Amino acid sequence: MTFDLPAYLIARRALVERHLFACLPAEDTRPALLSQAMRHAVRSGGKRLRPILCLASAEAVGGTAEAALSPACAVELLHTYTLVHDDLPCMDNDLVRRGLPTVHARYGEALGVLAGDALQTLAFETLARTPESRPGTLARLVAEFACAAGAAGVIGGQVEDIRFAGAPTREIVEYVFRHKTADLFRAACRLGGIAAAAPEHDLERLSAYADGLGFAFQITDDLLDADEAKSDDRPELSCLDLMSEAEARGWAVQHTRQAVAALAGLPGDTAPLAALAEDLLTRLA
């Protein structure tokens, strides 16, 4: 029997969104405009890949998805705030995201900054609700999450991304891919593992999986973006500045193989994580 990824994704996405919207302030919670801006940002989300990775990682180490619901929502709230701030006029100046007006386009620039800020705060508040699988777990969850999210992680990647001008070097591309993208994939997987009380060697397997998946995801994104007319004010940093499309496809395949290979030895059900990685490549078919 093969694994039914589409059915899995639909069920998981529904589970994530139910909890995600329960974390957010109600539409009429004062200040209502802030509550509405935060909910609008989360509504503009996509496939909820990162929180689903978090839940699937908890299961891959033999735990339950429920144990990882709080970290999963924290990861998605954090991802959402970074998109809200990336869309601001001083960065990508994007007015539309997934067919909806961006937060600053709809609520004004000040609310764009503040709703993003409040989503980051809410991410940590949500993470702190994770049941402690053993003493010290929460300290570790917060430390790893903050490290992935902060100056040495996602924000550092964004700074190098917006500062690049002209042709990037391979070193710059790898720095941005690792920190802007792969660091949050890694946090999603490891936090799921930690919430499920995984031992160190299983967390390392999840890290290797997430790094491979993060790179494959970003390479795939660059390949798909190359086919689209871009309206951004700022040229996007892309691995296609370094290599041909065929080489990029090869690079994505290599990272996907590494990701799937890293799952060997995990004690739980790794079919969802393996299927998620393989599915990425089908986007390029």
Query: Residues in the site for a second copy, rule: CB under 8 A?
Result: 25, 29-31, 33-35, 38, 81, 85, 88, 90-91, 108-114, 116-118, 120-122, 124-125, 127-129, 132, 135-136, 138-139, 142-143, 146-147, 149-152, 155-156, 158-160, 162-163, 175
Minimal distance, residue 242 CB to a second copy, in Å: 20
Query: Among residues 32 and 224, whose Cβ is nearest to a second copy?
Result: 32
Task: Note whether 226 and 245 are within 8 A (CB).
Answer: yes
Q: Which residue's CB is nearer to a second copy, number 106 or number 257?
A: 106
98 contacts: CB under 8 Å, gap ≥ 6: 44, 45, 46
Cβ atoms of residues 181 and 53 within 8 Å = no
Shortest distance in whole angstroms from residue 272 CB to a second copy: 29
Angle at Cα 189 formed by Cα 68 and Cα 196, nearest 5°? 40
Compare residues 120 and 254 and give the one whose CB is closer to a second copy.
120
42 or 275: CB nearest a second copy: 42
Three-state DSSP class for residue 85: helix
CA–CA gap between residue 271 and residue 162 (Å, rounded): 37
DSSP code of residue 203: H
Tokens of 23: 């974390």
> Could you tell me the smallest distance in angstroms from the CB atom of residue 132 to a second copy?
7
- State the minimum distance, in angstroms, from the CB of residue 226 to a second copy: 25
- Please count the other Cβ atoms lying within 10 Å of the Cβ belonging to residue 61: 25
Measured from the CB atom, is 90 or 285 closer to a second copy?
A: 90
Q: How far apart are CA 179 and CA 162, in angstroms?
A: 13
Closest CA to 64 of 198, 179, 174, 201: 198
CA distance 68 to 79: 17
CB nearer a second copy, residue 187 or residue 219: 187
Q: What is the DSSP string of 129-145?
A: TS--SSTTHHHHHHHHH
Nearer to a second copy, 160 or 236 (CB): 160
Measured at the CA of 268, the angle between CA 262 and CA 269, to 5 degrees, comes to 85
Q: Considering the complex, what minimum distance in angstroms separates the CB of residue 131 from a second copy? A: 10
